[in-house]
Structure 1
Amino acid sequence: MSQNPPESAVRRKRTFSKDLSAPQLRAVRKEILLLRADVERAELRQATADLRRNVSNFSWLKVLVPGFAFRQRGSSGKGINASLSELVAQHPLVSSIASMVLAKPLRGALKAGVKPALKWGGLGLALWEAYRIWRQIKQNKVDQDDDGVASSS
């Protein structure tokens, strides 16, 4: 039967920290951090370029978002309405998102106008119903008086 040798015999642990001095370790860590930062910057540049390429047909966005300008591939002379209608035809989800975003301020303005209208409209409806009930009671009283006068003669 063979026994497994202890793990320390198979794998020799190498500790670089014991081989290097403290200033050398700091220099290695600094280089690693600098490389990592360079890689992240390159990835960010690539992601930005991909994003610009993917949304380059959203040129109407510069109308809504200031400072969001794209390079024009070539001006075709179309108006903004034509490009917006093409965009909506190509991407129906964009129109839904735009309507949600644009509807929020409109909802606020509409809510501000509707609240007093509902309040005064409800008050007017309550007064109208009170008037109708009062008129009905008065009409019933007149009818009862007419019946009472006719039956007593």
Structure 2
Amino acid sequence: MSQNRTDTAFRPKRPPPKDLAAPQLRALRKELLLVRADVERMELAEATFELKQAVTHFRWLRFLLPMFGQGGARSASIGLLLKDHPLVGSLLSLLLAKPLRAGLVKGAKPALKWGAVALGAWEAFRIWRQVQAEKREAEESADAADGGMGISE
């Protein structure tokens, strides 16, 4: 008869952990959080670098965000303005975000509806035109077949 053993049966026995005092636990947690923050900061820097490399061929993005690639003097001046005066960027964002978002949401539903209607009408027109072309070809081939046979009316 075999006895069931747990997964830890073959692991070496460890000495019991020492109880750490509360200040030591807080210090340990703080160090772990600092290390995690450093790792995440480095991952963010790497992801930003990869994003810059991926989108450097978009010229319009260089104009809007000068940090991507080497923009012209205009993009540099916009970037410097927003960097030197962060309040300007915040105010522009505040002024443009709500009206643009409200306008986009407000206009999206009718645009989608009428766009779908227009697409349906266009497809119906294409099908009708194709059917008419097939009818003409059938009539022309029938006329050519009748004309070639010498049948007269």
Query: What's the TM-score bracket when you normalise by the shorter of the two chains?
Result: 0.3 to 0.5
Tell me the TM-score normalised to structure 2 length.
Answer: 0.37
Q: Which has the higher contact order (CA 8 A, sep 6+)?
A: 1
Specify the structure having the higher radius of gyration (Cα): 1
